[in-house]
Amino acid sequence: MTNREEEVAIDLDDDNFDGEMIIEEAVEGWIVLVTNVHEELTEEDLIEKFAEYGPIKNIHMNLDRRTGYVKVEHFNTGLIEAGLEGAKEVFGADHAYPISSIELHLHDLLKSKKIDTIFTNLPLNQANEPSLLDGTHINTVSGSATHPSGNVEASDFLSKLRIKKEYGGFGGWLSPNRVKVKPLGTIIDSLRNIKSSSEINLMRNSGRIAGRAFQAAMRATKPGMTEHQIHATLEYEVKMQMGTGLSYVPVVASGKNALILHYVQNLQQLKDGDLLLVDAGAEYGGYASDITRTWPVNGKFSPAQREVYTAVLKVQKEMIKKSVINATLDGLQYETYEMLKEELSRILKRTIGSREMNTLYPHHVGHYIGLDVHDTASISRSKPLEEGMCITIEPGIYIPDTDEYGIYRGIGIRIEDDICITKDGPVILTVEAPKEIEDIEFTMNN
């Protein structure tokens, strides 16, 4: 036993034993002895029993002595295991309490009449209100989900407030209709949606780091390599430049894999003559970048690839130009669709209908970006753009791998940059990633 490890005895069947308090304070490295373990109790049962005190990694039971012990070893999440002290010291919180004491603290606050509204980031139900009912299961917009374990007490207590509010008749510290429960996420989203200049600096750094990683990936690309070697190159370069890591699992899709929008298998060998579509970003200072580039595996675009690439690039640059104050993502999407339809009709020498367009261009032109890659999901894409908002512009063309498309069959191309809206016009945060045909070919061959 190392000096970080201590023993604490817990009797699971003794109601008078105040075991919970001890476990609450357990730190990584503690060993908790569990006495009076039933024969039929399994390690899984124990993990479940202790899950509410944090994710437990290891349970070792000694059934001969009818005693088990739990080594408190948290899952390594790659994040700081802050705990209550860390919440204050690392994150600057004024107060930090265990979630299990939320009822007590809210009770005192409400009694003091200092507050009349509780904001919570519990998931929203279909009426766009915080989901309060039913300890472990919640109804969300997309169906039902399991509550993160720490939120059970919060949901439980808030649901009591809701019941008291709806049925009235409760006096004292909680008078009916006084306490409102409102979602916090939409307020946070509206704050996150507009970036300060220091946030934009971090986003610019994130874009620069990712852009340089794309240069390295382009230089590394050779026929015979694999998609996951390109993935590794991107990750290596991002980390060598002090990025935290990739901001999401990248799409590294060669040849017709590019037609699969969220392809992340990334294992195929790169073939001479194929294109390689890469959608990847860096995380820096908590902020994400999101870039897509498409380049030829052998370092030179074929005439057909060049033709389709030029069309996508033309639309992408036009939409960046139009990313100005008061434009909307949905408005840009409409224009992207119309422009791509025109370009495709010209290339394929026939009129393209809306059904075919849904195959050739099956996604939106962009999304908000910031702390998350797909940031501030509660903000509508029809909201007029304001100074300080950051978005992606990412048109693409995905031509099915069938005979009717002749020399263009199986070509998938997307070009994506991150844009910051300013009163002087759009600022591209990801300029380091080459996107002109000459620049890509030069980067790959020099």
CB of 131 to Mn ion, least distance (A): 28
**Binding stretches for Mn ion (CB under 5 A):** 290, 392
Q: Which is nearer to Mn ion, 106 or 393 (CB)?
A: 393
Rounded CA separation 43/70 (Å): 9
Q: Which is nearer to Mn ion, 200 or 329 (CB)?
A: 329
Q: Which is nearer to Mn ion, 274 or 290 (CB)?
A: 290
Q: Are 84 and 98 in contact (CB under 8 A)?
A: yes
Q: Which is nearer to Mn ion, 279 or 343 (CB)?
A: 279
Rounded CA separation 291/314 (Å): 17
Rounded CA separation 415/216 (Å): 17
For 72, 132, 160, 190, 380, the CA distances from 126, given in Å and listed in that order, are: 38, 12, 19, 20, 17
Structure-derived torsion over alpha carbons of residues 341, 426, 392, 255, reported in degrees to the nearest 10: 60
Rounded CA separation 141/131 (Å): 10
CB of 220 to Mn ion, least distance (A): 23
- Any bridge partners for residue 301, and if so which? none
For 73, 328, 336, 426, the CA distances from 151, given in Å and listed in that order, are: 22, 36, 42, 41
Q: Which is nearer to Mn ion, 199 or 372 (CB)?
A: 372
Q: How many CA atoms lie within 13 A of 290 on its CB side?
A: 25
Q: Which is nearer to Mn ion, 199 or 394 (CB)?
A: 394
Residue 2, token pair as written in the block: 């190392």
Q: Are 70 and 46 in contact (CB under 8 A)?
A: yes
CB of 329 to Mn ion, least distance (A): 12
| Residue 242: Cβ within 10 Å count | 11
The b-or-e profile of 197-209 (16+ CB within 10 A means b, else e) is: eebbebbbbbbbb
CB of 367 to Mn ion, least distance (A): 6
CB of 290 to Mn ion, least distance (A): 4
Rounded CA separation 56/46 (Å): 10
CB of 248 to Mn ion, least distance (A): 9
CB of 261 to Mn ion, least distance (A): 11
The DSSP secondary structure of 110-156, one letter per residue, reads: HHTT--SEEEE-SPB-TTSSB--SSTTEEEETTEEEEPPGGGHHHHH
CB of 394 to Mn ion, least distance (A): 5
Q: Which is nearer to Mn ion, 106 or 210 (CB)?
A: 210
Q: Which is nearer to Mn ion, 258 or 352 (CB)?
A: 258
Q: Parallel, antiparallel, or unpaired for β 7-11 and 31-35? A: parallel
Q: Which is nearer to Mn ion, 298 or 430 (CB)?
A: 430
| Residue 158: Cβ within 10 Å count | 23
CB of 403 to Mn ion, least distance (A): 32
